[in-house]
Amino acid sequence: MIISPLHRFVFVHVPKCAGTSVRTQIAACDPDHIAMALPGPHPELGRIDYGHVPLSQLRQYFPENYAYLHDLSSFAILRDPLSRFGSSLRQTLWRYERTPMTLIDPETLRARTLEIMDDLVAEIDAPSARMIFFARQSSFVFDGPDRMVDHLVPIEHVGAFIAYLSQKTGTPMDADRRSNQNVDLRAKWMGPLAFRVNGFLRKRLPQGLHTRIKDAALGVLATRTSAAESSGVLDMPEVHAFVDEYYADDVALYRQARAEAPELLSRFADGSLPLGKA
């Protein structure tokens, strides 16, 4: 989550919905912004991912930050739940098992996917830090029956959203920049080396330079399909049934966001959407 009192808006970072691409840029528009970002310990909740706090937890444990949702304009990016599940699986396997999805043989990946889904059933309503990438998108938009986020941006319109914020805040931003991408390398054997080199460069180069180098390399090394698509995970009937059962509200919410998108995009383009609330 990024809160900008200066420009009077809140960006709610829904896991695996291009939030990193947005957050890393909009943080620069307000030197006094309030950021909730990295995993860490919490005195009551234990270890949590501060970048992805569902709104019910935000209200209970971070009331000062929650209050900004009442006072400032708020935005969140949403994604097709099936596609997002595949991205969440890839990220979980990489972050917690240090295993690139594209390097796992199909049968092992299928078995591990089924195991993760079994584990997820027990905590889908209150995911642990390890499972937070699978949290329902609706839990970052609604607090109980109350919708708290004003504007929902379908992931395919992230560029228009970034361009709008750039214009409104007077801050140069790159509408085409993408971070933390779910990619499939053309040559699978290059995976371990590519991940190590990327990690080395990310720690040592300025963020903008690292992003440009990474994007150029991916243009050559990666296919146009995501790792989850190429792996076959999204073709599994069990995954489709799981998403239909446990993410039905997200399916409806994403459909609503797409239906509302033309009006929102028009207001982005002409600058008629104000930041802040009356």
- DSSP state string for 164-226: HHHHHHT----TT---S----BSSGGGHHHHHHHHHHHHHHS-HHHHHHHHHHHHHHHB-SS-
Tens of each residue's pLDDT in the chain, 278 residues: 999 999 999 999 999 998 887 888 888 888 889 988 888 999 999 999 999 999 999 999 999 999 999 999 999 999 999 999 999 999 999 988 888 888 899 999 999 999 999 999 999 999 999 999 999 999 999 999 999 999 999 999 999 999 999 999 998 888 676 554 555 455 555 556 665 776 677 677 775 665 667 666 656 565 556 778 888 999 999 999 999 999 999 999 999 999 999 999 999 999 999 999 86
Residue type, 26: I
**pLDDT given for residue 224 in this prediction:** 53
* Cα–Cα distance for residue pair 242/240, rounded to 1 Å: 5
Q: Which helix (H) or strand (E) holds 118?
A: helix 106-121
Q: Where are the beta strands (DSSP E) in the chain?
A: 2-4, 9-12, 34-35, 39-42, 46-49, 73-78, 142-143, 146-147, 151-154
Q: Are 77 and 155 in contact (CB under 8 A)?
A: yes
- Could you tell me the two tokens for 96? 């917690």
- Could you tell me the two tokens for 153? 């941006």
Q: Are 88 and 16 in contact (CB under 8 A)?
A: yes
What domains can be seen in the chain, in order of their start residue? 2-184+223-270 (3.40.50)
**pLDDT given for residue 216 in this prediction:** 66
CA 215 to chain centre: 18
* Cα–Cα distance for residue pair 172/169, rounded to 1 Å: 9
Q: Are 1 and 65 in contact (CB under 8 A)?
A: yes
Closest to 229 (Cα-Cα) out of 53, 122, 84, 15: 84
- Could you tell me the two tokens for 149? 């986020």
* Cα–Cα distance for residue pair 275/3, rounded to 1 Å: 12
Residue 131 contacts by C-beta under 8 Å, 6 or more apart in sequence? 92, 119, 120, 123
